[in-house]
A and B are shown apart, each in its own frame.
Chain A
Amino acid sequence: MSAWSVTEPSARSKGIAAVLVILYTVITLVPLVWIIATGFKTGPDSISYPPKVIFQPSLEGYVNLFTDRTRATPEQLAAMPPPENFVDEIVQRRGEVITQPSKFGARFMNSVIIGFGSTFLSIFLGTLAAYAFSRFRVPLKDDLLFFILSTRMMPPIAVAIPIFLMFRQLGLSDTHLGMILLYTGVNISLAVWLLKGFIDEIPREYEEAALIDGYTRFQAFRKVVLPQAATGIASTAIFCLIFAWNEYAFAFLLTSGTAQTAPPFIPTIFGVGGKDWPAVAAGATLFLLPVMIFTILLRKHLLRGITFGAVRK
């Protein structure tokens, strides 16, 4: 009997692997922890040097994120009724009054509409195109696939100026539809290529069996291919959403008002009398959540999706 095994790593190498993984995780998580922590600091704490690791947590950043405020005179403050909730308390303690809710809620909703809208459209069109490329004899198939991929051979922002002019002509500047179309255009090549790979892996016999069983081509696609491709669709959706959600440059260039998304908005948050870092950090923290939740929900599919097709069954 030998303790040495070909397939099972030794305790020592497992230990080294664990240390490396933990080290890597810590390094990558430091900026995230920094942002999340800053969101719960007060203004002075957020810029103190050396940085405070231990501090008195405060919701100031979040209150500032969702409100516009102005400085009140001592007379005004004295005339005010006692604070009814913690929001009023925080604001009044600093000698300010709330004038109106901030635009963050609206900008965040824009991100949700544009991010999920373009992801849905990319997946919808991408699945249909990928199915056609995978199953039918499309004329010039290889050229078309290369052409689709070639849109990703330069950074999308390289064509910012033509797109800016085009959008102005078409009246798409600063509209939800414009941004959804733009992100869909960028994502669709990725979606077609990824999904084609997934659909190629699904044996044609399943659909043929459905055709024989009396279903139409489209019913076979919907009832047999789609459930089989769920894994691929989920992982493709995550990649599409992450791009559309995080995209900054086009959003900065093409949106300013009604359709502005959160990424260009967050850095513009100013407090009363200076950059409000806790509010910026709070915005960034909230901005992380949807993609994080979406990814956790689809995590099972994502892991399978990445390794899909690596081993021939």
Chain B
Amino acid sequence: MAEIVIRNLRKEFGDFVAVKESSFTVGDGEFFMLLGPSGCGKTTTLRMIAGLELPTGGQILIDGEDVSQKPASQRDIAFVFQMFALYPHLNVRRNISYPLVSQGLPRAQVQAKVAEVARILGIEGILDKPVGGLSGGDRQRVALGRAIVRSPKAFMMDEPLGALDAEFREHMSEELRALHDRMGATTVYVTHDQLEAMQMGDKIVVMNHGVVEQFGTPQEIYDHPATMFVADFIGSPPMNFLRFEGGFRPGDRSVSLGGTAIATPELRQEAAGRKLALGVRPEHVAISDDGTYRGRIEAVEYLGTTQIVTLSTAHGTLKARTPSDRAARVGETVGLGFAAATLALFDAGSGRAFRTSANAGVFHG
């Protein structure tokens, strides 16, 4: 097992820069998520760690050894592809044993290892079947089997659940996480699904346009997004932005939105006469008649125990997640309350979050 350190990694394809000076560290035994929209460079980053692409600049250290210019075969890393990439001309047993055969392991040892892996994954029954007729879940298990059979230093997974149908994905993600917990293997996992990332990951890197936006635990990233992109990408519905112009000084504990003072965590930076955005998660908006900040209810979506209330305010549209038992009528104008400790302030120009007492400990990419 291994620690993976990425330092100022860069990748260019001709004129196109896929990854720009990215740095982060994957701790030993971590389940590490690379999250971002399509085209953000997450898969390219993964392929560079695996050795399927060579970086244009920067370093990749696996267990302290610089492997950035080494071929994939010398890195001792396993890769699970989105389409599984099982060798179609070989049966399940030969697919799983393929990486061992390349190392020239004796036959008896290969058989023993394959049997062990098959037992772990519960696929003893299909070992002699061709891979062509397998169900999505079994293909997934065979792909995992091929990855774990030689006990590599780390696993790379490129959207391994993307090809499965929604119902089965849930089940498989639990299985994957359980497998990881049992083996304790360092895993780097690429996904564009924020729920999957939050659900399974120990740590998350959020990428956009080839840049690392934020790097941290799921809680840090959800509660204290470093940029407006992260705030908007994570959460469903995403964080609300109330856009306003104004300023504040270090030590302030509130900002003024159109004359209404709104309590915030203690601000640690200064801003004056700038375009700003106040970020608030929908579940931290309360509809209360005594709130001085007001909004008009535009729509109500019923979701069982909660409902999503869409409101229009003087500073833009806002979504609130409130308990379903609180009646909300379209057209009604109501007072709004925000949970002060959870609020974030962003520079609307650069998209960066300002430092406050709440996010002080959080890494800013």
B76-102 CB mask vs A (1 if < 8 Å, else 0) is 011101010101110000000011001
How many interface residues does chain B have, given as a range? Answer: 20 to 34
Q: Give the A-B contact count at a CB cut-off of 8 A.
A: 52
Partner of A211, one of B71, B83, B88, B103: B71
The answer to whether B205 has its CB under 8 Å from any CB of chain A is no
Establish whether residues B103 and A212, one from each chain, have CB atoms under 8 Å apart when the complex forms.
no
- B residues within 8 A CB of A59? none
The answer to whether B288 has its CB under 8 Å from any CB of chain A is no
- Separation of A209 and B73 alpha carbons in the complex (Å): 10
- Separation of A98 and B51 alpha carbons in the complex (Å): 72
The answer to whether B300 has its CB under 8 Å from any CB of chain A is no
Establish whether residues A208 and B99, one from each chain, have CB atoms under 8 Å apart when the complex forms.
no
Q: Which residue of B lies closest to A212 (CB)?
A: B79
Establish whether residues B78 and A212, one from each chain, have CB atoms under 8 Å apart when the complex forms.
yes
The answer to whether B52 has its CB under 8 Å from any CB of chain A is yes
Q: Which residue of B lies closest to A217 (CB)?
A: B71
- Separation of A26 and B103 alpha carbons in the complex (Å): 58
Establish whether residues B102 and A213, one from each chain, have CB atoms under 8 Å apart when the complex forms.
yes
The answer to whether B294 has its CB under 8 Å from any CB of chain A is no
Q: Which residue of B lies closest to A227 (CB)?
A: B89
Establish whether residues B89 and A208, one from each chain, have CB atoms under 8 Å apart when the complex forms.
no
The answer to whether B72 has its CB under 8 Å from any CB of chain A is yes
- A residues within 8 A CB of B77? 212
Partner of B73, one of A203, A212, A224, A228: A212
Establish whether residues A213 and B99, one from each chain, have CB atoms under 8 Å apart when the complex forms.
yes
Nearest-CB distance from A223 to chain B (Å)?
8
Establish whether residues A213 and B98, one from each chain, have CB atoms under 8 Å apart when the complex forms.
yes
The answer to whether A8 has its CB under 8 Å from any CB of chain B is no
The answer to whether B146 has its CB under 8 Å from any CB of chain A is yes
The answer to whether A206 has its CB under 8 Å from any CB of chain B is yes
The answer to whether B50 has its CB under 8 Å from any CB of chain A is yes
- Separation of A214 and B150 alpha carbons in the complex (Å): 11
- Separation of A288 and B102 alpha carbons in the complex (Å): 45
Establish whether residues A209 and B89, one from each chain, have CB atoms under 8 Å apart when the complex forms.
no
Q: Which residue of A lies closest to B90 (CB)?
A: A227
Establish whether residues B73 and A208, one from each chain, have CB atoms under 8 Å apart when the complex forms.
no
Nearest-CB distance from A95 to chain B (Å)?
63
- A residues within 8 A CB of B71? 211, 216
Nearest-CB distance from B157 to chain A (Å)?
12
Nearest-CB distance from B313 to chain A (Å)?
49
Establish whether residues A208 and B81, one from each chain, have CB atoms under 8 Å apart when the complex forms.
yes
- Separation of A212 and B157 alpha carbons in the complex (Å): 12
Given A208-B52, A208-B79, A211-B52, also A216-B89 (CB < 8 A): no
- Separation of A210 and B95 alpha carbons in the complex (Å): 10
- Separation of A110 and B19 alpha carbons in the complex (Å): 59
Establish whether residues B103 and A214, one from each chain, have CB atoms under 8 Å apart when the complex forms.
yes
- B residues within 8 A CB of A146? none
- Separation of A227 and B87 alpha carbons in the complex (Å): 10
- Separation of A219 and B87 alpha carbons in the complex (Å): 14
B257-269 CB mask vs A (1 if < 8 Å, else 0) is 0000000000000
Using a CB-CB cutoff of 8 Å, which residues 227-263 of chain A contact chain B? 227-228
Using a CB-CB cutoff of 8 Å, which residues 29-52 of chain B contact chain A? 50-52
- A residues within 8 A CB of B102? 213-215, 219
A89-112 CB mask vs B (1 if < 8 Å, else 0) is 000000000000000000000000
Given A211-B73, A215-B102, also A206-B87 (CB < 8 A): yes
- Separation of A210 and B85 alpha carbons in the complex (Å): 10
Nearest-CB distance from A20 to chain B (Å)?
36
Q: Which residue of A lies closest to B89 (CB)?
A: A227
- Separation of A216 and B72 alpha carbons in the complex (Å): 9
Chosen A-B contacts, 5 in total, with CB atoms closer than 8 Å, are A205-B85, A211-B51, A211-B52, A214-B102, A216-B71
Task: Report B's interface with A, CB cutoff 8 A.
Answer: 50-52, 71-73, 77-79, 81, 83, 85, 87-89, 98-99, 102-103, 146
Would you list the 6 A-B pairs with minimal beta carbon distance, nearest first? A205-B85, A213-B99, A214-B102, A209-B85, A212-B79, A211-B72
**9 new A-B contacts at CB < 8 Å, known A205-B85, A212-B51, A212-B79:** A203-B85, A205-B81, A206-B87, A210-B87, A211-B52, A211-B72, A212-B72, A214-B73, A227-B89
